[in-house]
Amino acid sequence: MSQSLLLMAAMALGGYLLGSIPFGVIATRLGGAGNVRSIGSGNIGATNVLRTGRKDLAAITLVGDGGKGAVAVFIAWLISQNATLEAQSLLMAIAGGSAFLGHLYPVWLGFKGGKGVATFFGTLIAAAWPVGLAAGATWLVVAFLFRISSLAALVAVALAPVYVFVFGRPTAIAWLAFFMAILVYIRHAPNIRRLLHGEEPRIGGSKKDADA
């Protein structure tokens, strides 16, 4: 196996293991808030952690989930300083995509992880910050207009691959954004069903049925 293939394999494995770190579970247990998987929707993301009533733990989870994708991309960028832009972008996409996959399907939790929105943004900002910021701005606009967090996330991730081309970023980053967007939609299948039936809770409204 060539050195480049070994490096890509190492980035994939390392990124996946990094992404598998369940910050929501760790934060709630160490913070004395119990097991987040037995609270609310059972999701390990920041939104469900917030249902424990601990904003500090939710903030830690949000930063951790977003940060692990960013760290994976940064490590790949650091290692590939002497590579071409295309090769570097590919390595970053592999590391970031693997971290994202690890968050959704963590080996430590029986492959039952979060929905990936925070990790999506963290990964994308690190891989191509203008694209990540544009997607984040899209989330804010849609959330402001419709007051539905899941809808904002679905629109933002769908437009992210388009933003890659708007800002002239490498094709590997477009594939990364597309890969993550597909998985976000898969993980948000219950939310999509509720949206179609007009039953998805709004921001600031009742959250008893929310699991975004």
Task: Determine the number of helices (DSSP H) and then strands (DSSP E) in the chain.
Answer: 10, 0
- Map residue 30 onto helix, strand or coil: helix
Q: Which residue has the higher pLDDT, 42 or 79?
A: 79
Distances, alpha carbon 120 to alpha carbons 44, 61, 124, 129, in Å: 15, 14, 6, 12
- What share of the chain has pLDDT > 90, as a percent? 86
Q: What is the pLDDT of residues 34-63, one digit of tens each?
A: 999 988 888 899 989 998 999 999 999 999
Question: Is pLDDT above 80 for 191?
Answer: yes
Question: Is pLDDT above 70 for 121?
Answer: yes
Q: Give the pLDDT band of residue 209 (cuts 50, 70, 90).
A: very low
Q: Half-sphere exposure of 138 toward its Cβ, with a 13 Å CA cutoff? A: 21
**pTM of structure:** 0.92
Distances, alpha carbon 111 to alpha carbons 16, 52, 65, 74, 102, in Å: 11, 23, 16, 25, 8
**Residue ranges with strand state E in the chain:** none
Q: Give the pLDDT band of residue 2 (cuts 50, 70, 90).
A: confident
Q: What's the chain's average pLDDT? A: 93
Q: What is the pLDDT of residues 8-37, one digit of tens each?
A: 999 999 999 999 999 999 999 999 999 999
Distance from the Cα of residue 140 to its chain's centroid = 16
